[in-house]
């Protein structure tokens, strides 16, 4: 991220301070340009011509939403598309409900992605999970005695902005009253009410971790929290997918303290991590293996009573991940989904 004209100076300062460094991306713009190649639809394999969706490229928001609508129309007895609210810029906030149960009290699992706009691998993996659950008959067992609520794009405004204006945009797109482009928006993953405003967030609108003027100031986080609260009585497992770093993180994130059932949460995460074949994930408390992050969604989910809560940092290091990695990352992570369900389905009960 250092402009060429400043590289000599920066290298000298690092040398003087005796700070070792490695250059991970030699040319960031080149990496961005090569990240998402145009795929020839007619030559792509395993494509369903009824929708423009694959896991060989990153998709724009309208393509993701069209795919969700296709699934709801094609599998009406299995898939329900729920509009839980509207983003700041007026885009719908969709949750996919996958269920073959007729009971309103079937234990449920929550999965979401794209809190942070630039983390393109997140919605790609989440939509892959949806595809596997709905369109692959071999996974029918994963629908037995459990409902799925899945939200591929929590931050649609930011996600679209990262496609058309700024590839590395992170926050929402709500105005803050400041003119600078980087000072717009709120970090949606610092905007939740539980421990809002503590360490690991910022009151500076220009910060990447700006907490917002108040908890749930963003229509996206408020709609998200309202919907999850309405089904929290049956939610037993919560997964929120971010990137990058290859980590499965456990509460709490606001401070170096552990929840009452930390050992149980840790045991399940370790079992899931053992299933990965391609990537190695580090498992542990959020503060211990990453950093403090107050006002985050996973802490909030745990605070309202969801027993098994995980925040996942997907592979690989960096936000600009070539599209050729989508399938390897998705396929590898789906093995863990299988383990989570196999481990918990037999014991999920609604009290």
Enzyme catalytic residues? 313
CB-based contact 204:210 (threshold 8 Å) = yes
d(CA 165, CA 150): 27
| Residue 4 main-chain phi, psi, to 5 deg | -50, -35
CB-based contact 107:236 (threshold 8 Å) = yes
The bridge status of strand 79-86 relative to strand 92-98 is antiparallel
CB-based contact 283:266 (threshold 8 Å) = yes
Sign of the Cα pseudo-torsion (72, 76, 82, 86, in order) = positive
Torsion of CA 254, 248, 279, 326, to 10 degrees: -80
The continuous run of DSSP H or E covering 84 comes out as: strand 79-86
d(CA 341, CA 278): 20
Task: Using alpha carbons, list the distances in angstroms from residue 299 to 58, 251, 254.
Answer: 29, 6, 8
d(CA 25, CA 342): 39
| Tokens of residue 256, six digits | 């170096």
d(CA 188, CA 154): 9
User: Three-state DSSP class for 125?
Assistant: helix
d(CA 236, CA 345): 10
């Amino acid at each position: 991220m250092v402009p060429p004209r400043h590289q000599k100076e920066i290298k000298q300062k690092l040398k003087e301070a005796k700070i070792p460094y490695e250059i991970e991306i030699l040319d960031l713009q080149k990496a961005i340009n090569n990240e998402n190649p145009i795929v020839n639809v007619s030559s792509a394999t395993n494509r369903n011509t009824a929708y423009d969706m694959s896991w060989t490229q990153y998709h724009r928001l309208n393509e993701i939403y069209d795919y969700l609508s296709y699934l709801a129309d094609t599998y009406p007895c299995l898939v329900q598309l729920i509009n839980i609210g509207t983003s700041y810029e007026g885009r719908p906030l969709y949750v996919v409900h996958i269920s073959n149960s007729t009971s309103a009290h079937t234990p449920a699992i929550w999965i979401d992605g794209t809190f942070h706009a630039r983390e393109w691998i997140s919605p790609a993996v989440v939509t892959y999970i949806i595809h596997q659950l709905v369109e692959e008959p071999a996974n029918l067992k994963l629908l037995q005695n459990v409902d799925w609520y899945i939200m591929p794009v929590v931050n649609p405004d930011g996600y679209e902005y990262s496609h058309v204006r700024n590839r590395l945009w992170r926050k929402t797109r709500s105005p803050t009253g400041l003119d600078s482009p980087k000072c717009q928006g709120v970090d949606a993953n610092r905007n939740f009410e539980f421990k809002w405003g503590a360490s690991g967030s910022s009151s500076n609108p220009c910060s990447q971790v700006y907490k917002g003027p108040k908890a749930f100031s963003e229509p996206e986080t408020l709609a998200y929290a309202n919907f999850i609260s309405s089904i929290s009585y049956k939610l037993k497992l919560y997964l929120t997918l971010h990137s990058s770093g290859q980590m499965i993180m456990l509460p709490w994130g606001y401070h170096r303290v552990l929840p009452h059932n930390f050992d149980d949460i840790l045991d399940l995460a370790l079992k899931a991590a053992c299933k990965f074949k391609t990537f190695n994930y580090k498992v542990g408390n959020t503060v211990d293996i990453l950093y403090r992050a107050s006002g985050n969604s996973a802490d909030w989910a745990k605070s309202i009573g969801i027993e098994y809560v995980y925040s996942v940092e997907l592979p690989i290091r960096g936000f600009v991940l070539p599209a050729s990695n989508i399938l390897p990352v998705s396929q590898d992570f789906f093995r863990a989904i299988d383990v989570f369900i196999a481990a918990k389905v037999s014991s999920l009960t609604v009290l």
